[in-house]
Amino acid sequence: MDDYINEEVVEIDKVIEENKNGAMRRVTTETHHSGPDGSERRLYRMVAVSFGMLCVLQVALNISLRLESDSLTEERDQLPTSYNNLTKERDQLQREKDDLMEKSSNPSWNKFESCWYFVSTEGKTWNESRQDCVARGADLVIINSRKEQRFLFALNKRFWIGLTDSETEGFWKWVDGTPLITRYWVNNQPNNGGSVSTFPGEDCVGLRDGQGQPEKTWNDLNCAEKLNWICELCNNNLL
């Protein structure tokens, strides 16, 4: 009888132990699953990175919008200046157009290649002639080529050109300050009136007519003599 009772007690102890161990395993399993697993942690990291990228993009967008806004403001502020410049250019073009129309209808102006030439009908001193040209928005003619020299010779007039050595004797330069390079002097010219010491000398250049040698027509003369003159105006906007 005692043995039987002991066996029952042992069986009961086994059942209790098994139940205890099972409960502990469940608690351990449940405890293990209560925290985030590996996939959940990766998801959290992805969300955090995405949020960070969104913040960076937002900052970049704000900077871009600010820069664009500043640029638009600057362009807006420049509009009045641009408008004024365009207005001035328009007015200048209109004046040049009117000037072209006036020259085209005026027989005193002759066109050759890219320039206009005013041929006077009266005589003045070299300085007075130049003043007249300047008042017309031009200057005494500067001869730059053999073709231009021949064109002027064909006008068959005796006139002043824009060449002088009044500043330094023997150093000839044009009215725009450039030194003389190509020369179309009459034989034995320039001679300063026959003597270097002659006063007031011959410091201005006139073009002779009717000599039959178009490339030998320049002559130095006393600037106080009165000749016809030719003004030259070269402006590509008038073409």
- Phi and psi dihedrals of 164, rounded to 5? -155, 155
Residues 46 and 68 both lie in one domain = yes
Task: Tell me whether residue 196 is in a domain.
Answer: yes
Residues 11 and 43 both lie in one domain = no
Cis peptide before 190 (omega within 30 of 0): yes
Helices (H), the chain: 2-34, 38-105, 126-135, 146-153
Q: What is the CATH number of the domain that holds 118?
A: 3.10.100.10
Neighbouring C-alpha atoms within 13 Å toward the C-beta of 125: 7
Residues 44 and 158 both lie in one domain = no
Residues 162 and 69 both lie in one domain = no
Residues 75 and 116 both lie in one domain = no
Residues 217 and 165 both lie in one domain = yes
Task: Tell me whether residue 94 is in a domain.
Answer: no
Residues 71 and 157 both lie in one domain = no
Task: Tell me whether residue 92 is in a domain.
Answer: no
Task: Tell me whether residue 111 is in a domain.
Answer: yes
Task: Tell me whether residue 4 is in a domain.
Answer: yes
Q: Which domain holds residue 71?
A: 36-82
pLDDT at residue 85, rounded to an integer = 86
pLDDT at residue 27, rounded to an integer = 47
Residues 117 and 193 both lie in one domain = yes
Triad 146, 149, 152: Cα angle to 5°:
150
Residues 120 and 186 both lie in one domain = yes
Residues 30 and 40 both lie in one domain = no
Can you spell out the DSSP letters for 76-87? HHHHHHHHHHHH
Task: Tell me whether residue 51 is in a domain.
Answer: yes
Residues 188 and 76 both lie in one domain = no
pLDDT at residue 239, rounded to an integer = 43
The pTM (predicted TM-score) of the whole model is 0.57
Residues 30 and 42 both lie in one domain = no
Task: Tell me whether residue 93 is in a domain.
Answer: no
161 in Cβ contact with 207 (< 8 Å)? yes
pLDDT at residue 183, rounded to an integer = 93
Closest CA to 230 of 102, 104, 110: 110
Show pLDDT as tens, one digit a residue, over the chain (239 residues): 555 545 554 565 565 566 555 555 554 554 444 455 677 788 878 888 888 888 888 888 888 888 888 788 888 888 888 878 877 777 755 555 455 545 655 768 999 998 999 999 999 999 999 999 999 999 999 999 999 999 999 998 899 999 999 999 999 999 999 999 999 999 989 988 765 555 568 999 999 876 678 999 999 999 999 999 999 998 754 44
Q: How many domains would you assign to the chain?
A: 3
Task: Tell me whether residue 173 is in a domain.
Answer: yes
Q: What share of the chain is helix, strand, coil (3-state, %, to 5)?
A: 50, 15, 30
